[in-house]
Protein backbone atom coordinates (compact mmCIF):
# COMPACT_ATOMS: atom_id res chain seq x y z
CA UNK A 1 0.00 0.00 0.00
CA UNK A 2 2.81 2.38 0.83
CA UNK A 3 4.37 2.08 -2.65
CA UNK A 4 1.10 2.81 -4.43
CA UNK A 5 0.30 5.89 -2.29
CA UNK A 6 3.83 7.21 -2.93
CA UNK A 7 3.38 6.62 -6.66
CA UNK A 8 0.01 8.41 -6.61
CA UNK A 9 1.58 11.40 -4.86
CA UNK A 10 4.22 11.58 -7.60
CA UNK A 11 1.59 11.37 -10.33
CA UNK A 12 -0.62 14.07 -8.80
CA UNK A 13 -0.67 17.36 -10.68
CA UNK A 14 1.25 20.15 -8.99
CA UNK A 15 0.92 23.88 -9.58
CA UNK A 16 3.39 26.73 -9.60
CA UNK A 17 2.75 30.43 -9.08
CA UNK A 18 5.58 32.89 -9.70
CA UNK A 19 5.06 36.38 -8.30
CA UNK A 20 7.20 39.36 -9.27
CA UNK A 21 7.56 42.74 -7.61
CA UNK A 22 6.49 45.80 -9.61
CA UNK A 23 8.56 48.61 -8.07
CA UNK A 24 6.62 51.36 -9.87
CA UNK A 25 3.19 50.14 -8.78
CA UNK A 26 4.57 48.82 -5.47
CA UNK A 27 2.70 45.51 -5.73
CA UNK A 28 3.37 41.81 -6.12
CA UNK A 29 1.69 40.32 -9.18
CA UNK A 30 1.33 36.84 -10.67
CA UNK A 31 3.80 36.78 -13.55
CA UNK A 32 3.69 33.05 -14.44
CA UNK A 33 1.44 30.18 -13.43
CA UNK A 34 -0.14 26.97 -14.59
CA UNK A 35 -3.29 27.67 -12.54
CA UNK A 36 -5.96 28.39 -15.17
CA UNK A 37 -7.36 31.93 -14.93
CA UNK A 38 -5.11 33.13 -12.09
CA UNK A 39 -4.28 36.84 -12.26
CA UNK A 40 -4.02 39.02 -9.17
CA UNK A 41 -1.82 41.48 -7.31
CA UNK A 42 -1.28 42.61 -3.75
CA UNK A 43 0.90 45.02 -1.76
CA UNK A 44 2.63 42.46 0.48
CA UNK A 45 3.79 38.85 0.33
CA UNK A 46 1.50 38.06 3.26
CA UNK A 47 -1.61 39.55 1.65
CA UNK A 48 -0.76 37.94 -1.70
CA UNK A 49 -0.38 34.54 -0.01
CA UNK A 50 -3.77 34.99 1.65
CA UNK A 51 -5.37 35.88 -1.69
CA UNK A 52 -3.76 32.91 -3.43
CA UNK A 53 -5.01 30.51 -0.74
CA UNK A 54 -8.53 31.62 -1.62
CA UNK A 55 -8.27 32.07 -5.40
CA UNK A 56 -6.33 28.91 -6.33
CA UNK A 57 -8.86 26.39 -4.93
CA UNK A 58 -11.76 28.35 -6.46
CA UNK A 59 -10.12 28.46 -9.90
CA UNK A 60 -9.09 24.80 -9.81
CA UNK A 61 -12.61 23.73 -8.78
CA UNK A 62 -14.05 25.68 -11.75
CA UNK A 63 -11.45 24.81 -14.40
CA UNK A 64 -9.82 21.45 -13.61
CA UNK A 65 -11.50 18.07 -13.42
CA UNK A 66 -10.46 15.72 -10.65
CA UNK A 67 -11.33 14.63 -7.17
CA UNK A 68 -8.29 15.78 -5.21
CA UNK A 69 -9.02 17.44 -1.89
CA UNK A 70 -5.50 18.92 -1.81
CA UNK A 71 -2.91 19.77 -4.46
CA UNK A 72 0.70 20.88 -4.05
CA UNK A 73 1.35 24.51 -4.97
CA UNK A 74 4.80 26.05 -5.18
CA UNK A 75 4.87 29.81 -4.58
CA UNK A 76 7.92 31.62 -5.94
CA UNK A 77 8.77 35.25 -5.15
CA UNK A 78 11.09 37.31 -7.32
CA UNK A 79 12.33 40.81 -6.55
CA UNK A 80 15.37 42.77 -7.72
CA UNK A 81 17.15 45.04 -5.24
CA UNK A 82 20.02 47.46 -5.59
CA UNK A 83 22.17 47.47 -2.48
CA UNK A 84 24.66 50.25 -1.88
CA UNK A 85 28.18 49.36 -0.82
CA UNK A 86 29.66 51.75 1.71
CA UNK A 87 33.35 52.00 0.91
CA UNK A 88 34.43 54.53 3.23
Give residue-wise pLDDT tens across range 28-82.
Answer: 999 999 999 999 999 999 999 999 999 999 999 999 888 788 999 999 999 999 9
pLDDT digits (tens, 9 = 90+) for 7-33: 555 567 899 999 999 999 999 999 999
Neighbours of 33 (CB within 10 A): 21
pTM here?
Answer: 0.80
Q: Where are the domains of the chain?
A: 2-78
Return the CATH fold of 2-78.
TTHA1013/TTHA0281-like (3.30.2390)
Amino acid sequence: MRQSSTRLRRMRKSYTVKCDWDADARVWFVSETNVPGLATESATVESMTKKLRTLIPELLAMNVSGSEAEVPVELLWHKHELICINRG
